[in-house]
Chains A and B, each alone.
Chain A
Amino acid sequence: MNEKIAKKAVVVDGQEIILNGEKNILEVAKKANIEIPTFCYHSDLSVYGACRMCLVEVEGRGLMPACSTSPEAGMVIKTTTSRVLQARRMIVEFYLANHERDCTVCERNLNCRLQAIAASLGIDEVRFGEREEKLPRDTSTFSLVRDPNRCILCGDCVRACKEIENIGIYDFTQRGSQTKVEPAFGKKLSEVECVYCGQCSVRCPTGALVVKSEVNSAWEAVLDSDLMVVAQIAPAVRVAIGEAFGLPPGEITTGKIVAALKKIGFDRVYDTAFSADLTVIEEAEEFFRRLQKGERLPQFTSCCPSWVIYAERNYPFYLENLSSARSPQQMFGSVIKNFIYEAENTPREKIVSVSIMPCTAKKFEARRPEFIHDEIPDVDIVLTAQETIRMIKTANIDFKELDPLPFDVPLGAGSGAGVIFGVTGGVTEAVLRYAYERLTGQELKEVEFKGVRGMDSTREAEVDFGGRKVKVAIVHGLANAQKLVKDMRSGERYYDFVEVMNCPGGCIGGGGMPLEYPDYQEVLRRRAEGLYNADRLSVVRKAQDNPSIKFLYEKWLKEANSEIAEHHLHTYYYSRRRISDEMIRIQEAKSAQKVDIAVCVGTSCYLKGSYDLLQELLELTKEYGVEDRVSVGATFCLERCTEGPNIRINEEVFSGISKDNLRQIFEEAVLSKLVAETH
């Protein structure tokens, strides 16, 4: 007897595809081996539906966007009809007519979605002229360059910053053909709340948002025989650089990268996983101390610079909770500039420390004043994976064919624990491997803590530390971190230790990693797998077993959290202004001798009631009859967020203002000045 199987199926270009929960026609078409082109579709972002590249013809319904249309049983879909082709070609002409077309001098030359689609369609003329408007490029940050002339208004950056970061520095502005994508009021990136993470540039299909290149400085350094150029390679980078040379994502090419760098002219190549091991020990010991004393908990990791700057701007109440340990990049920089140079017999000024990172925010981190001494930064140059690839290509190296070389001694390699820093959950797992042995005194046989692995946005685990149960949480994606913090502040959830990574997937999803289409999520999974494989292939898998680490402590640091360690491997944090200087004028003094008062209405102070204080202040000026000699305004951040509400009287900032002390401060700090001036 024939079984009639009821099947839900659609037909794509004549091929029957059985539906299996695909959420849109794009996914169905993939099963028919058709890769429908898109600009504005990302499987991890909300659907936008505006680029119109993915239009297909559905029988009976006309042209429909494949990214936002759910497949329904019985649909007959054609991905290439004359209507579709006519539309696709002309739409690309529209894009090109409004795009800066000097591809040969663009950062994304040969690696650009627009180029790829135009080429695949065989566009050989643009009947709509050229772009006339020339807008200035924004090079105001260390990490990113924004070129609005190359923007195709797909909105990927808008959605990335809103949904992944929950910051939203970009939005669409104006309307119609005047539409732009830009930060508020057309400001520069350095003037808004950008955390430099580069998630926007990862999603950008053209050269509108690219990594700011330090390649020129790097070439200058390696080609200068006078200088000793020392590189450190971050874990995440080693499973991704191969992608630019035809190797699959996740393939471990550490040895080849070392070889390539040596060919280019780097004098020493080290492993950031080594300083990751350092971080494990320093941070874990700090954690134990806090656990013992029961203070400054929860402890948050601090190796992610985007997370750190976000916390400095928004979570003044948690600044004490961030781990004081520096990030592996900065620890290594410090080791190079304070220890290695001696071993290398080279003066400090002649050592150039270069880090090879998956991350654009690291470029900002390296320039934090705390990490620069006597005008010499601990890390001189930060190269992202993309820039490293560029250098390898410029040097005409056949990467695939290279024989691998090992890292240099004495700080050669990191342990497997250090290597997994590059994936979300890696730091936690590395710390757990150390903590177990340190606190129980027993050897850890099973080193893999599968419970903290995975791509779920927030994961939690409970670990038994010698009797004391410790709750840990791992979160990646800044928006998810914000939710977690909110829950923790409201008391809904509590953890003792929290690992925060800004980028989805952890550092393997960083802003400086090679750009991949079309299945980014699959790439992240493979890179993560690659790191875990590298861990498995490591001889040493725990930070405490790393002989180089033991060596460093012996020779230099003495012990974890020692004074030397505190000085060179730890740091501090401070409240930062969220938005640039702006003032709302509320009362204007007219006389030449006057006092200027600014009341902070930034989020923290605002929530603490600074607006009411502002009103009281105005009343006070009326009461004392000095309205014409006291200017009052509202400003956005006086950078004392933990101590707010804050007010600034002339140049001095007063913190902890309340209804109780306002009058006194007014009399002491304002009236006295006015009296003085009349004398």
Chain B
Amino acid sequence: MEIEKESLVLSRQFEKVNAILRKYSHNVDNLIAILQEIQSEYRYLPEEILTYVATALQVSPAHVYGVATFYAQFSLEPKGEHIIRVCDGTACHVKGSAQILKAVRENLGLREGENTTSDLMFTVETVACIGACALAPALMVDEEVYGQMDEEKVQQLVDHLLGEGEKVDAV
């Protein structure tokens, strides 16, 4: 079962890359949109796929690599299945987002320099502003926003995410 699943995933992914290239007419002007869709398929941008995209778009691999490393959204390292984005915008910062970030990382057991848990389930990032300033300090788990966080709520949230606790209210 596992063999089939992995193979299916791999070949489906590569097919998707070509479908994406076709969708954007192999036009290098659409490079950013192409990379965005590839990243949502693979959860990151693998080096050999980027080289393939360069070949298919007839540009140098350095150009594609340069674009992929410029934008914060793109990751060349595998990301976790769930992305936790702690907002560090002005309002959140002023209300203590640094402590929230620390609490999230500690609760997930992340060491210094590590941003993704070893089981590839969670990646923790900071974002500049998610526009939830009225709920500062705020964070997002995938698309869901959790506001007015404090250390206790963070612990509850992480427990829940690790499957060890009950669902936490968004606020």
Contacts and interface: CB of A to CB of B under 8 A. Distances in A.
A and B in contact, CB less than 8 Å: yes
Interface of A: 162, 167-175, 182-185, 192-193, 579, 582-588, 590, 601-603, 606, 611, 615, 618, 627-628, 632, 634, 636
A523 B152 CA distance: 71
B2 to A, nearest CB: 8
A641 to B, nearest CB: 13
B52 A584 contact: yes
Contacts of B69: 173-175
B47 interface: yes
B56 A588 contact: no
5 contacts: A172-B66, A184-B54, A192-B62, A586-B14, A611-B18
Interface of B: 3-4, 6-7, 10-11, 14-15, 18, 46-52, 54-56, 58-66, 69-70, 72
B25 to A, nearest CB: 16
Given A579-B51, A584-B48, A184 B64 contact: yes
A603 B55 contact: yes
Given A171-B66, A174-B69, A602 B55 contact: yes
Given A175-B69, A184-B60, A615-B15, A582 B51 contact: yes
A172 B70 CA distance: 9
A551 B15 CA distance: 65
Nearest to B65: A184
Nearest to B21: A611
A279 to B, nearest CB: 32
State the main secondary structure of chain B at its contact with A.
helix
Contacts of B47: 185, 582
State the main secondary structure of chain A at its contact with B.
mixed
Of B4, B52, B62, the most chain A CB neighbours within 10 A belong to: B62
Contacts of A167: 60
B65 A618 contact: no
Nearest to B55: A603
Of A173, A182, A615, A632, the most chain B CB neighbours within 10 A belong to: A173
A171 B10 contact: no
B77 to A, nearest CB: 13
B6 A588 contact: yes
Nearest to B70: A175
B65 A171 contact: yes
A526 B49 CA distance: 47
B60 A634 contact: no
B61 A192 contact: yes
Contacts of A590: 3
Nearest to A587: B7
Contacts of A184: 50-51, 54, 60-62, 64-65
10 closest A-B pairs by beta carbon, nearest first, are A171-B66, A168-B60, A184-B61, A171-B62, A184-B62, A184-B65, A590-B3, A582-B48, A173-B69, A584-B48
Nearest to A591: B3
Given A184-B64, A185-B65, A611-B18, 19 more contacts: A168-B60, A169-B60, A171-B62, A172-B66, A172-B70, A175-B70, A193-B60, A579-B55, A584-B46, A584-B52, A585-B10, A586-B11, A586-B14, A587-B10, A588-B7, A628-B3, A628-B4, A628-B7, A634-B52
B60 A586 contact: no
Given A185-B61, A615-B15, A636 B10 contact: no
Nearest to A175: B70
A169 B62 contact: yes
A601 B52 contact: yes
B10 A588 contact: yes
Given A173-B69, A174-B70, A583-B48, A606 B56 contact: yes
A172 B67 CA distance: 9
Contacts of A175: 69-70, 72
Contact of A171 (B3, B51, B58, B60): B60
A618 B10 CA distance: 12
